[in-house]
Amino acid sequence: MKMEKNIMPIIDKIKDPNDVRLLSLPQLRQLSEEIRKYLIETISITGGHLASNLGVVELTLALYYVFEPPKDKFIWDVGHQAYVHKILTGRKEQLNLIRSLGGISGFPSIEESKYDVFNTGHASTSISAGLGLARARDLKNEDYKIISIIGDGALTGGMAFEALNDLGVSKTKMIIVLNDNNMSISPNIGGINNYLSKIRVSKKYAALKFKTQKIINQLPIIGKPLIDVLEKVRNNLKFALVSGKMFEQFGLKYIGPIDGHSLEDLIDFLSHVKNLDEPVLLHVVTQKGKGLPCAEKNPTEYHGVNSANNNGNGHSFSKTLGQTLSLLADENQSIVAITAAMADGTGLEVFKDKHNDRFFDVAICESHAVTMAAGLAISGLKPYVAIYSTFLQRSFDQILHDVCLMKLPVTFCIDRAGVVGADGVTHQGIYDLSYLSLMPDITIISPKDIQEFKMMLKWSLDYNKPLAIRYPKDSVLEFDVHTPIEYGKWEIINSCQSNIYIIATGGRMLKLGIETSKIFKNHKINIINARFIKPLDYVFLDNLADNSYIITMEDNVLHGGLGMSIANYLLKRNKKFKIKHIAMPEKVTIIGEIEEVFKKLGLTPQKLSKEISDFIQ
């Protein structure tokens, strides 16, 4: 009886990109199947960006087959689709801990691998970064390829077009791979998407043209002249059938669209553009969620999946926003809602379904979203702009110049404020208090729980100046105390005869403050909900007795945050006080669940009670 040999899967033989280049086309196809299977099995447990990675398996394999990293440089726009890239660069086993404590990042990270040449996490940056690398290469007389991989969603961002404009004029040699799957997180919208839709349907044209050209070129004597004649015919035919002229108007050579799941076509075309001495855009059409029927059918739902042990805890601020704003809009016809390609993530799908004529998804264009909101506000409407904290910082100038300086009643609903956990350093929402607090005439508030968030949204209807409401994704606790919202007034959660005060903003920090105070047996502590961050509760601070001990707690960096604002005010009032700040470090690089990140940062009741005890001695 013959013993069956255990055949090692190809995926287990891939230790670095050189191993990919040794494979045959049938082996590459098998590897693509193995990678998809591994992604589905692994990400279903760890959580992470699933659908986008399933869509780029063949594309990533072809890139590694044709090019030679780390000499050649890949820049992955946004970067959430770089899991396959990580598998092919020796990090397959580490994928079991992706986005987890002690594990690897869900995005490219220069601290993690020599194959990650540029940190990404925000959209529309890869062409600019690639152009910088290409110019540095040329100035240093070096020889390697620069390949920026950008999605059609990221292409809607204005920064991408600024880079295309510069690249087309300079004619710097680099390659742009447009990964076109008709999706951002949600389905793409807008003129760019409509334009790409028209040329997507012609992907067979590019492959046919390329293969025909190869055959004719092999004909003796007449091959090259015939190609020249056909090129003129081809240009007219291309304009009529495909029209990638927009990119050619920028000064780029446009090739495509081609099938992003055909390894043969991808390898042929990438081998061709590799040797072109000009900037080129290769248009590749892929399917988000490829290989997993449920993800193919609903790529938005499978864009990001929770880990097996995290089904989403707490009540969602995001869902509350959509539901509450939709109800308020039933009665108030001036309410409009705006988001930047994040209708589902910000909870506005409910509003969109019910009030579609007053809902605006502007694609990945945060700056445009803010200034458009200013135009709506100055015309008498009541705009609510829902954007994640980490992405809102991209519209700093527009918030200052187009909203605050004109005192326009735009309400910013700042989702994912504070520490975000698994998404890591590029997505932390720990800076918004700092950059918003310096702006004139803006009010900043933060709810402690869902009930208070609803109260704030209702209160905002009659507030006619710039307003920012910051909140995390989920509420960690529903509190018993809910006093009416009064402008510039804090809420007393626990009052006692003591000169020790914990002044905390946001539900997470307020909960942490309460739990910390319960550890003290010999000291009573006043607990204050600083729901107004700007302005502060000046009446409360003026009434503080001299020699009070103040502990400020915030889910934001120290500089420019709540704690420093309180300290500066008390100093101006010549108050005698002692103050301790509990805030986030300037850079939070820890990856993991939020509770794990807090523990690593020393933000636990046990640790803080010891620090506070030392402080008040």
pLDDT, tens digit, for every residue of 104-126?
888 888 989 999 999 998 889 99
Q: Is there a single domain that holds both residue 456 and residue 521?
A: no
- Separation between Cα atoms, residue 526 and residue 551, nearest integer Å: 10
Do 546 and 444 share a structural domain? Answer: no
Which stretches of 389-452 are assigned E, i.e. beta strand?
A: 411-415, 443-445
Q: What are phi and psi for residue 280, nearest 5 degrees? A: -135, 145
User: If pLDDT is split at 50, 70 and 90, which confidence band does 331 have?
Assistant: very high
- Identify whether residues 289 and 338 lie together within a single domain: no
Order of strands across the sheet that contains 548-557: 491-494, 526-529, 500-504, 548-557, 577-584
Residue 149 included in any domain: yes
593 is catalytic: no
Contact between 147 and 276 under an 8 Å Cβ cutoff? The reply is: no
**Is 225 domain-assigned?**
no
- Whether 2 is covered by a domain: the verdict is no
CB 445 within 8 A of CB 490: no
Residues 6+ apart with CB under 8 A from 169: 251
Q: 185 pLDDT exceeds 70?
A: no
Question: How many structural domains are present in the chain?
Answer: 3
Residue 389 inside a domain? The answer is yes
**91: in domain:** yes
Q: How far is CA 313 from the centre of its chain?
A: 21
Q: Which domain holds residue 400?
A: 315-475
Other CB atoms within a 10 A radius of the CB of residue 71 amount to: 10
Give the C-alpha separation, 437 to 592, whole Å: 29
Mean pLDDT computed over 52-63: 94
Residues 289 and 326 in one domain: no
At 296, the pLDDT band (50, 70, 90 cuts) reads confident
* pLDDT interval class at 566 (50, 70, 90): very high
Looking at residue 473, the DSSP 8-state letter turns out to be S
288 noted as active-site residue: yes
Check residue 138 and give its pLDDT: 96
**Given the residues 58, 366, 452, 593, the one annotated as active site:** 366
Residue 216 in this model has a pLDDT that exceeds 80: no
Active site residue 366: yes
Q: Please say which residue of 448, 475, 502 terminates a domain.
A: 475
**Rounded average pLDDT over 504-528:** 95
CATH of the domain at 116: 3.40.50.970
- The Cα 544–Cα 563 span in angstroms is 15
CATH number at residue 502: 3.40.50.920
* Residues 409, 332 share a domain: yes
Tens digits of per-residue pLDDT, 350-364?
A: 999 999 999 999 989
Q: Write out the H or E segment, with its range, that includes residue 74.
A: strand 73-76
How far lies 296's CA from each of 32, 309, 331, in Å?
17, 24, 38
414, 507: one domain: no
- Phi first, then psi, for residue 225 (nearest 5°) are -60, -40
Which listed residue (394, 470, 473, 534) is catalytic? 394
Cβ pair 533, 446 in contact under 8 A: yes
283 assigned to some structural domain: yes
Q: Give dist(CA 357, CA 430) in Å, integer.
A: 34
**Residue in this structure with the two tokens 């940062």, named with its chain if needed:** 601
Identify whether residues 462 and 537 lie together within a single domain: no
In a domain, 153, yes or no: yes
Tell whether 88 is covered by a domain.
Answer: yes
Are 442 and 527 found together in one domain?
no
Residues 319 and 292 in one domain: no
Please give the residue that has the higher pLDDT: either 369 or 244.
369
**CA distances (Å), origin 123, targets 242, 342, 391:** 27, 13, 9
**CA torsion 356→362→367→368, rounded to 10°?**
-90
Asked if residue 542 and residue 468 are part of one domain, the reply reads no
458 and 517 together in one domain = no
Same domain as 124, residue 78: yes
Per residue in 466-480, pLDDT (tens digit) is: 999 999 988 878 999
Of the residues 297, 326, 361, the one at which a domain ends: 297
3-state DSSP assignment of residue 578:
strand
pLDDT in tens, 17-55: 999 999 999 999 999 999 999 999 988 888 888 888 999
Q: What pLDDT does 240 receive?
A: 38
- The catalytic residue among 137, 288, 473, 531 is 288
pLDDT at 266 over 90: yes
